[in-house]
Amino acid sequence: MFPKKTIHDVEISGKAVMVRVDFNVPLVDGIIANDYRIRQSLPTIEHLRGKGASKIILISHLGRPKNQFDQKLSLAPVATKLSDLLHLPVKFVGDCVGKEAKEAVANLRSGEIILLENLRFNSSELANDDHFAKQLANMADLFVQDGFGVVHRKQASTEAITKFIPSVAGLLVQKEVNTINRSIESPEKPLVVVIGGAKISDKIDLISHFITRADYVAVVGAIANTFLLAKNIPIGHSLADEASVKVAKDILEAAAERTHKEHFTFYLPHDVVVAKSEAPNSATRVVDLFQHSWSDITAYPRQPEVKAYTIQADEAVFDIGPMSAAAIAGALKLAGTSIWNGTSGMAEVKGINGAADPFGHGSKVLAEAMVGANGNDKNKPFSLVGGGDTTSFVMSQESLAERFSYISTGGGATLELMAGKKLPGIEALLDKKG
């Protein structure tokens, strides 16, 4: 059960309600490339309207501005998109606090919606500043936290604001927490987890957590390179978190210990796709790291050359190889619950030298394995995708996103919740029993 009060537990009618949403969406030349996060906020906004909120004041951040106005990171295009999605006008004001913002909110008519400008144009947001938070709170009667993507941070719009105004959760935050917790605490077995990304230090707790809970854990992406280093396998000039090699060794030992005691698999890529650079026109090849099956087949009836199973000094790993993708896909197809956080390579690179996605093939194989051959099977496993890069990849694949059981809007928040950590932006809300 969700432990905090939500918009179902408080009186809405006649109140000015401030909602912290997560409208941190990708913009290309001022055009929203993906409106998924905006659409996920609609149920909360529509519920507040339906319950008679006198005003709805939306606040959010966008990107990482340097504490000053940046036209490229203005939320103005988001207000326009939200108007289209809601089929009603959404006002916009070019500040989030101060005279202009206060007057714009005060002049709203009953039931109107306004979006304030990017919170992070003001340095006080990231500083979790009380004065800034109080200025926000003074414009409303009730605060609703619905920006799941930021609740793992202590910021003015996630924690400090709750000191000055009654604060509850929105429908998205409630759904995110309940769905993720259920997939971790009471998953349909077997539980298969794929963890990728760049830095192992960002996901130590997550990997360690799943080693004790999951039935199968596959490590892919640049994180896998750190584990390869821990096994004394040369990785060329691949991206790796060299400071965490000792941690990787400890994780390998913990995984091996569990494997000896019970049925559990900790999988590292057996083959990888390498190139000399990440340029779209780079020539790629597959390196067979462990069993040399791929090398043997390719060289048969001769012995494979050492180069076939060795990453050269001028090469880097950019994706898992086809054998590894197939092996992990096989586990995913047998899963009762599958969780994916972190792509298997630089899936955003579109190639022009043969393969259409030279570093995205592994991620595509994994995604398709999670949702099934046609995505229409009512008995297919529960599939959860979390993390910014993974979500972006899934969204970029035609007709793929809707086939997943659940796609989280969070990045760091998803990671920390999966790892069993407390989220400050949720802990600060009113308790259900309070």
* Residue 330 annotated to the active site: no
* Residue 412 annotated to the active site: yes
d(CA 142, CA 16): 7
In three-state secondary structure terms, 122 is coil
d(CA 366, CA 386): 14
Ranges of H-type helices in 170-264: 171-185, 204-211, 221-230, 245-261
User: Is the Cα torsion angle 93, 95, 97, 99 positive or negative in sign?
Assistant: negative
Asked, as a colleague might, if the bond just before 190 is cis with ω within 30 of 0, I would say yes
* Residue 30 annotated to the active site: no
Tally Cβ neighbours within 10 Å of residue 434: 8
Alpha-carbon distance values, 97 to 118, 120, 284, 285 (Å) = 10, 12, 52, 54
Burial class (CB in 10 A: 0-12, 13-18, 19+), 90: buried
**Which residues make Cβ contacts (< 8 Å) with residue 338, sequence separation at least 6?**
191, 192, 193, 194, 332, 370, 381, 382, 383, 384
**Which residues make Cβ contacts (< 8 Å) with residue 433, sequence separation at least 6?**
none
Check: CB of residue 121 under 8 Å from CB of residue 67.
yes
Buried b (16+ CB within 10 A) or exposed e, 332-358: bbebebbbbbbbbbbbebebeeeeebb
Catalytic-role residue among 102, 182, 199, 421: 199
Alpha-carbon distance values, 207 to 26, 194, 250, 251, 266 (Å) = 28, 10, 11, 8, 10
Residues in the chain: 434
Catalytic-role residue among 37, 81, 153, 203: 37
Catalytic-role residue among 221, 362, 388, 425: 388
Tally Cβ neighbours within 10 Å of residue 149: 26
Check: CB of residue 144 under 8 Å from CB of residue 170.
yes
* Residue 434 annotated to the active site: no
* Phi then psi dihedrals of residue 299, to 5 deg: -90, -15
Check: CB of residue 237 under 8 Å from CB of residue 316.
yes
Which residues partner with 341 through β-bridges? Answer: 195
Catalytic-role residue among 258, 412, 420, 432: 412
d(CA 17, CA 405): 31
Instruction: Enumerate the active-site residues.
Output: 37, 199, 388, 412
